[in-house]
A and B are shown apart, each in its own frame.
Chain A
Amino acid sequence: AQTVTQSQPEMSVQEAETVTLSCTYDTSENNYYLFWYKQPPSRQMILVIRQEAYKQQNATENRFSVNFQKAAKSFSLKISDSQLGDTAMYFCASNFGNEKLTFGTGTRLTIIP
């Protein structure tokens, strides 16, 4: 079975600090994409960052970066200089080489002023 696991249901961090959200997955596919989506209280699902499994270089988008370890099937998200607007649910997801996204159960991140 292809699964995505987020083992941290909730996290909180002080504003301006760095926080890392964990994600592991299981698949026998070799070519797939991994994503982090953010869902703020407004409920909108917003793409944060994506990683192609065949690329060794970790993706970066401004304050957001990933640590992708393909052999370990790990895909963590690091948020640097956290801001109040980063408060949201964060979902790790993968398409596992097909058309649909499989999501983890989410991590609720709270940035404390």
Chain B
Amino acid sequence: DTAVSQTPKYLVTQMGNDKSIKCEQNLGHDTMYWYKQDSKKFLKIMFSYNNKELIINETVPNRFSPKSPDKAHLNLHINSLELGDSAVYFCASSQDSGRQETQYFGPGTRLLVL
């Protein structure tokens, strides 16, 4: 059984479009995250939600809007896609938001903006 799943795995779209990436975890965790991995493989936190509340928002353009309908889901909606948004987006989850918590990652969504 997949612990953290993301859909779609691949997303190819045109500049200016709006797209969403979905994430679900079946681990019973309270905290979920979005990370972006750029073309040089560098990983950086974007957002974190704890029990559906936003706790981290790292200098991300407001074209990116996370939405957490419940604590098992954290979706990422991106408006007006730009070439620079091309990257791999990882969802992750942890039991809680404490400093001792290990984060478990989804398989990633490769986004290509043409």
Contact = CB atoms under 8 A, between A and B. Distances in A.
Interface string A31-42: 111010101001
A99 B88 contact: no
Nearest to A93: B43
B107 A44 contact: yes
A102 B33 CA distance: 13
A44 B3 CA distance: 12
Contact of B43 (A50, A97, A103): A103
Interface stretch (B14-22, B63-71, B72-80, B95-103): B95-103
Contacts, number: 59
Contacts of A89: 41
A99 B90 CA distance: 16
A103 to B, nearest CB: 4
A43 B107 contact: yes
B45 A101 contact: yes
A91 B43 contact: yes
Nearest to A100: B45
10 contacts: A33-B99, A35-B102, A43-B110, A47-B102, A47-B104, A98-B99, A99-B48, A100-B45, A100-B58, A105-B40
Interface of A: 31-33, 35, 37, 39, 42-47, 50, 52, 89, 91, 93, 95, 97-103, 105-106
